[in-house]
């Protein structure tokens, strides 16, 4: 996975963890600290047992900042909902392997948007499901918790799964595919996963969104040092 190790690690701030009251101040801190992406969990209450950030929230964020969005679609049958979102070329869009019978078709339907195409897989989904779509994706969003709620603890087996994924991509000559890790990414877990080839780290309550908003700058600096 040498190709990934040579690339700078990136932070994707999980906006479902943000305090709406201090949203503008939070965004200003993220811009100052050069946070790479804003992670947007779109949840429909059907694919996952929760409702999450929607199209109006996405539209409002775009008016606040030019930081690219990392849009994580936790919705059933995403192929019929892509047009609602206002996807930009600078975005990452993750669709779930488990959310549709037409995985390859959804990835194809993302092409006209010009965004980076990621495939997300849940903790219990084996990595071999990726084999037939490796030519259609720019990245893999490896869920380290079961999706739907912030504040969960990492599923222990996902650390071994990350190691297997590193080997899997190397064996298939796909070292250039980006690995994103999402769920309870503490500085310690982030450091471990960086060594296993992860390139994008979703940062939530376990890393940057804890304490008062004035602490976020220090939290980001500590987290960035851990995943360097």
User: What are the residue numbers of the active site?
Assistant: 41, 182
Residue located via tokens 């995985």: 103
43-to-15, 85, 86, 125, 221 alpha-carbon distances in Å: 13, 13, 16, 19, 29
How far apart, in whole angstroms, are the C-alpha atoms of residue 202 and residue 198? Answer: 11
Q: 102: which residues sit within 8 A by CB, 6+ positions away?
A: 79
Selection from 45, 47, 38, 48 nearest residue 18 by Cα: 38
């Amino acid at each position: 996975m040498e190709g990934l190790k040579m690339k700078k690690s990136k932070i994707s701030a999980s906006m479902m963890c943000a305090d709406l009251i201090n949203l503008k101040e939070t965004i200003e801190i993220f811009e100052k600290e050069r946070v790479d992406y804003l992670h947007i969990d779109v949840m429909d209450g059907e694919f996952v047992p929760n409702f999450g950030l929607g199209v109006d929230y996405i539209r409002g964020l775009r008016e606040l900042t030019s930081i690219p969005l990392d849009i994580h679609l936790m919705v059933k049958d995403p192929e019929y909902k892509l047009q609602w979102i206002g996807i930009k070329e600078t975005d990452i869009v993750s669709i779930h392997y488990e959310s549709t019978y037409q995985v390859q078709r959804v990835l194809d339907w993302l092409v006209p948007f010009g965004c980076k195409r990621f495939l997300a897989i849940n903790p219990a989904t084996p990595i071999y499901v990726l084999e037939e779509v490796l030519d259609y994706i720019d990245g893999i969003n490896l869920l380290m918790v079961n999706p739907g709620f912030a504040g969960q603890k990492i599923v222990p087996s996902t650390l071994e799964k990350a190691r297997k994924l590193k080997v899997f991509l190397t064996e298939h000559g796909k070292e250039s595919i980006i690995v994103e890790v999402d769920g309870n990414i503490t500085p310690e877990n982030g450091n471990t996963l960086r060594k296993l080839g992860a390139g994008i780290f979703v940062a939530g309550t376990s890393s940057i969104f804890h304490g008062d908003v004035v602490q976020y700058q220090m939290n980001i600096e500590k987290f960035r040092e851990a995943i360097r």
